[in-house]
Amino acid sequence: MANDRSIFMGPRIRRLRRELGLTQVIMAEDLDVSPSYIALIETNQRPVTASMLLKLADIYRIDIGSLARGAGDDFNANVRAAFNDPLLADLEVSPIEIDDFASTFPATAEAVIRLYTAYQENQLALADQGNMDSNGPEPVDEARRYLTARKNFFAELDNRAEELQAEIKRAGGFEPYFSFQRIRVRHVPHDIMTGYLRRFEPHRKEILLDETLDNAGANFQLALQVVYMEMSKLISSTLAESSFETEDGEKLTRSALANYAAGAIIMPYNAFARAAEERQYDVEALARQFNTSFEQVAHRLTTLQKPSQEGVPFFFIRIDAAGNVSKRLDGAGFPFARHGGSCPLWVLHKAFSNPRKLMTQWVELPDGERFFSVVRTVTSGGGSFEQPSIERAIALCCSSEHAHKLVYTKGINISKVEPTPIGITCRLCHRSDCVARAEPPIGRALLAEDFRKPSTPFGLTDKQ
């Protein structure tokens, strides 16, 4: 066919095949071609024609646009990240060389990616050595790994939540919905709740809510109760697909999935994804539209990973004034050390000096990757004069390639932005000229200070 355009996208086809759990032989049978032809496609020795793309989309029920759009871009970006590491900076490999290498030798390039990934994991392990819990696996880490591995997206939970949201809407809201089931919702004084925000008493058919909860908090607790009543089996079956080393790890993950589903009821995927795009990811505007809190919206924005309807991939982190991380969700590939403090040059740590003020910052990691972050403090607790509250700071980050979609970058010439150079954590950052450094990096020797004292906290040799 004269108009049967073709493109090289071997790494993407290979990744798709593996995600589907297929061998080259099975995929060849499905597409009515030879296994050797599939092998040639995957090694970029044969292009993928438009007719082949259509057949892939039809047989495997995938979005042809997401498959063909920027074919190989993600793969090439991963190869570039490996070569841009400070460890290889002196080689001065040009972007053109890297892209040629990735497209000409995709299998070898994937080997480089795997080795670089293993190297990164080893670096993280070295940084974590002094902080590891000698008593065994950490439940919080188990839960975070579970969510990160799935990009914090659970299609079945979203679909069921959307059905429940429609039922609640038809009933006229949460309280009429429960009333229809002969369950009464009561808002009671804080002292009666004895330390709980929500309490369900099945024998009395009552849901008790702490009256100090604001509207967004009360709605979330009611949505959470709907989840535990209507989606417990679905959450259990979702968890059954994985094994957990600790009972607490499974409990924390179950709680995370329940919270995910509650957010999906209040902010159903299709409506929320559409609104997020229309409002250019304006967190405060979305909070008003869906009658939720700033943090709830920020949390929900990390879950927009539905195939063919993806939103901007975001990374979310919440810390207290001491720098302790109480929540972390990764949909943007933002590298964050499991232990140890994050970079003090990140505006996240300045948020407490500017409570409730929305702050933005462009940052650049040592490997050259750039991110855009939106930061603000949020308050939990309180609700009355005598009730204690705590201030936390949250950051919502996306890769710089998506930043133009955000309302916060409107009117900014992104190509001329000078980002703040930050590191993941001092032990993994090899920026020798950083005045904010708290520790020397792994693998770098210190210079003697007998005759001179550098302006930075540590003088570092050039040796790795």
Residue range 442-458: mean pLDDT, rounded: 77
Q: Is the domain of 244 the same as that of 152?
A: yes
The reply to whether 293 falls in a domain is no
The CATH number that applies at residue 233 is 1.10.10
The reply to whether 301 falls in a domain is no
Whether the predicted pLDDT of 128 surpasses 60: no
Q: Is the domain of 16 the same as that of 31?
A: yes
Amino acid at residue number 39: A
Three-state SS annotation for the chain: CCCCCEECCHHHHHHHHHHCCCCHHHHHHHHCCCHHHHHHHHCCCCCEEHHHHHHHHHHHCCCHHHHHCCCCHHHHHHHHHHHCCHHHHHHCCCHHHHHHHHHHCHHHHHHHHHHHHHHHHHHHHHHHHHHCCCCCCCHHHHHHHHHHHCCCCCHHHHHHHHHHHHHHHHHCCHHHHHHHCCCEEEEECHHHHCCCCEEEECCCCEEEEECCCCHHHHHHHHHHHHHHHHCHHHHHHHHCCCCCCCHHHHHHHHHHHHHHHHHHHHCCHHHHHHHHHHCCCCHHHHHHHHCCCHHHHHHHHCCCCCCCCCCCCCEEEEECCCCCEEEEEECCCCCCCCCCCCCCCCHHHHHHHCCCCCEEEEEECCCCCEEEEEEEEEEEECCCCCCCEEEEEEEEEEEHHHHHHCHHHCCCCHHHCCCEECCCCHHHCCCCCCCCCCCCCCCCCECCCCCCCCCCCCCECCCC
Lowest-confidence pick of 152-161, 210-219, 363-372: 363-372
Q: Is the domain of 223 the same as that of 114?
A: no
Q: Is the domain of 105 the same as that of 169?
A: no
Give the residue from 266, 299, 318 where a domain finishes.
266
The reply to whether 375 falls in a domain is no
Give the residue from 266, 293, 314 where a domain finishes.
266
Q: Is the domain of 62 the same as that of 116?
A: no
The reply to whether 365 falls in a domain is no
Spatial CA neighbour of 213 closest among 379, 355, 392, 394 = 379
Residue range 134-157: mean pLDDT, rounded: 80
User: Domains in the chain: how many in total?
Assistant: 3
Lowest-confidence pick of 56-70, 218-232, 404-418, 426-440: 56-70
Q: Is the domain of 66 the same as that of 79?
A: no
Lowest-confidence pick of 129-138, 269-278, 288-297, 368-377: 129-138
Q: Is the domain of 112 the same as that of 158?
A: no
The reply to whether 19 falls in a domain is yes
The reply to whether 12 falls in a domain is yes
The reply to whether 333 falls in a domain is no
CA 76, CA 81: separation in Å to the nearest integer?
Answer: 9
Confidence of residue 16 (pLDDT cuts 50, 70, 90): confident
The CATH number that applies at residue 22 is 1.10.260.40
Q: Is the domain of 172 the same as that of 215?
A: yes
Q: Is the domain of 119 the same as that of 185?
A: no
Residue range 168-181: mean pLDDT, rounded: 96
Give the per-residue pLDDT at 384. 82
Q: Give the pLDDT confidence of 279-314 residue by residue, as tens digits.
A: 999 999 999 999 999 999 999 999 998 877 889 999
Q: Is the domain of 170 the same as that of 249?
A: yes
**Range of 237's domain?**
138-266
Give the per-residue pLDDT at 298. 96
Residue range 165-192: mean pLDDT, rounded: 95
Whether the predicted pLDDT of 125 surpasses 60: no
Share of the chain above pLDDT 70, in %: 88
Residue range 182-203: mean pLDDT, rounded: 92
Q: Is the domain of 180 the same as that of 217?
A: yes
The reply to whether 16 falls in a domain is yes
Lowest-confidence pick of 221-225, 398-402, 441-445: 441-445
Give the residue from 47, 71, 95 where a domain finishes.
71
CA 212, CA 161: separation in Å to the nearest integer?
Answer: 27
Q: Is the domain of 61 the same as that of 172?
A: no
